[in-house]
Amino acid sequence: MLPTVLVYGILWTAINSLIAIGFYLIFSVAQILNLAHGMIIVGGCYAVYVLAAMVKLPLAVSVVGGILSTVLILLIIYLCFIKRLFSAPHSSMLLVTAGLAMIMEQIIILTVGPDTKFVPSMVTGSSKILGVGVSNQGLLTVCIAFSVIALLMLFLKHTKEGRAIRATSQDRDVAVMSGINIEEIYWMAVIIAGMLAGIAGVLVAPIQTLTPKAGWEMMITAFTATILGGLGGPIWGVVLAAAIVAFIELFTAFMIGPAIKEAAAFLILILTLMFKPSGLFGKRRA
């Protein structure tokens, strides 16, 4: 059991991290709690499915299409809805993003159907690691996910724009006073988050069976990892938090039953909110 948990834990850490970091970026930089983020990822999955299985485009084209579609959806949501709500009470933002998530879920159900779908893998075959069978798709996922995260960390650490993004996420007012163009930073955060969501969607689509409902669960995973990692904290904090969530979920799935693994994630969320609301590595008060 232990090797299985280890191997699949790393796989789900990679996926959860990608899901969470996009959510985390918008949340900590622009203070937008985007309840539609999970559904945007699912939108990316379904875009790949529609392009690859229904329109019958080559898989590489569909993958690019999936990533572009999430960036586009997130930009539309940002420009048409979120931007106009910055001055409104915070509850409007939650209501609108939740409503948008609901609309997207229903559109998927109406157009593609509510039943589970399968997306073809990018690579075929499987390998054995520590005596545990893993599909090559899973290995590819881990490689791509961690290199994307590493690239993002380098970008945030060493470029001028990256430093501006980090500064904004730690203290917006001081960032504005130091001459950072907040508008530009928000744009950048939204586009990066859209790309991360797209990559997450494209990678998760062949591994998991697709249902429209999965968007809510992804949002919850992202939120739990973000809170546990801490707002304004480093990216690797979120990755570590995503790893904690992944491993605890897997252990519960093995010990009690797979249906109840979300309850474990919820327990982590509750304990964090009760005892350390600023998260493990957070630099900001919750």
Give the binding site for another protein (CB under 8 A): 33, 35, 81, 84, 88-96, 98-100, 102-103, 106-107, 110, 216-217, 220, 223, 227, 256-257, 259-260, 262-263, 266, 269-270, 273-274, 277, 286
- Closer residue to another protein, CB minimum distance, 138 or 233: 233
* Shortest reach from residue 267's CB to another protein, in Å: 9
* Shortest reach from residue 280's CB to another protein, in Å: 15
- Closer residue to another protein, CB minimum distance, 122 or 280: 280
* Shortest reach from residue 80's CB to another protein, in Å: 9
Q: Which residues contact 246 (CB under 8 A, 6 or more apart)?
A: 9, 12, 13, 15, 16
Q: Contact at 8 Å (CB) between 12 and 176?
A: no
Q: Contact at 8 Å (CB) between 261 and 253?
A: yes
For residue 227 the two structure tokens come to 């809170």
3-class state of residue 210 by DSSP: strand
- Closer residue to another protein, CB minimum distance, 36 or 165: 36
Q: Is 25 exposed, middle or buried (0-12, 13-18, 19+ CB in 10 A)?
A: buried
* Shortest reach from residue 170's CB to another protein, in Å: 17
- Closer residue to another protein, CB minimum distance, 141 or 272: 272
Q: Contact at 8 Å (CB) between 219 and 37?
A: yes
- Closer residue to another protein, CB minimum distance, 107 or 207: 107
* Shortest reach from residue 213's CB to another protein, in Å: 9
Closest to 171 (Cα-Cα) out of 47, 40, 13, 285: 285
Return d(Cα 251, Cα 248) in angstroms, integer.
5
